[in-house]
Each structure stands twice: as structure tokens, then as C-alpha cells.
Amino acid sequence: MTIPKIVPISDLRQDATNIVKGVATSREPVVITQRGRAAAVMVGMEAYEHTQHELEILRLLVRGEQEIEAGVGFDKAAVFEEADKLLKQEKA
């Protein structure tokens, strides 16, 4: 794991345009600090969308586990079809 870039909020105020451009091009997160402590993390849109997509897949897996435990669920072929759709969306 790489050490994230850290930017004080005062620097963000003074140079927001270049910091945002840097996040978009580097695809690495930037930790925004306030009073010396981490206050927020800035990520590029592509990284954010990828993370949200991965979270949705994890939510589906958890729901599937819960349904299995409850004795309900979906046909295996339908589940694989839905998973393939999600994976294809991620690659697009």
C-alpha cells in the first residue's frame, strides 16, 4: 500500500484546480487535513465509481448469503447472469 498524498485544507483553498487535476490524472487519493488531522479523502471520479460498484457487488453477496440462510433465493443461472452484467459494466 502506498502512502497517500496529504494536503492541508488551506492548500486546497489556494490551489483547488491543480489539486483536483492531480487527483484525476494520478488516480491516487489525496487526504485533506484540517488542523493537522485527516478530515476528508479526495478521489477521482473513476476511482469513486469503481469503489461504489465493488460495494454493490459485496452487498449482493451479503444478501445472497442471508437468503441462503433463510432458505430462499434465486436460480443459479440467474445469479450468474446478473453477476456477468455487473462485471461487464465495471469494464465499460
For the question of whether the overall pTM of this predicted structure is more than 0.75, the answer is no
CA 9 to chain centre: 22
- Please give the pLDDT value at position 92: 63
Per-domain residue ranges of the chain: 5-43, 47-91
Whether domain 5-43 has CATH 3.40.1620.10: the reply is yes
Residue pLDDT, tens place only, 47-74: 999 999 999 999 988 988 888 888 887 7
Q: Which residues contact 8 (CB under 8 A, 6 or more apart)?
A: 32, 33, 34
Q: How far is CA 2 from CA 14, 24, 39, in A?
A: 26, 17, 19
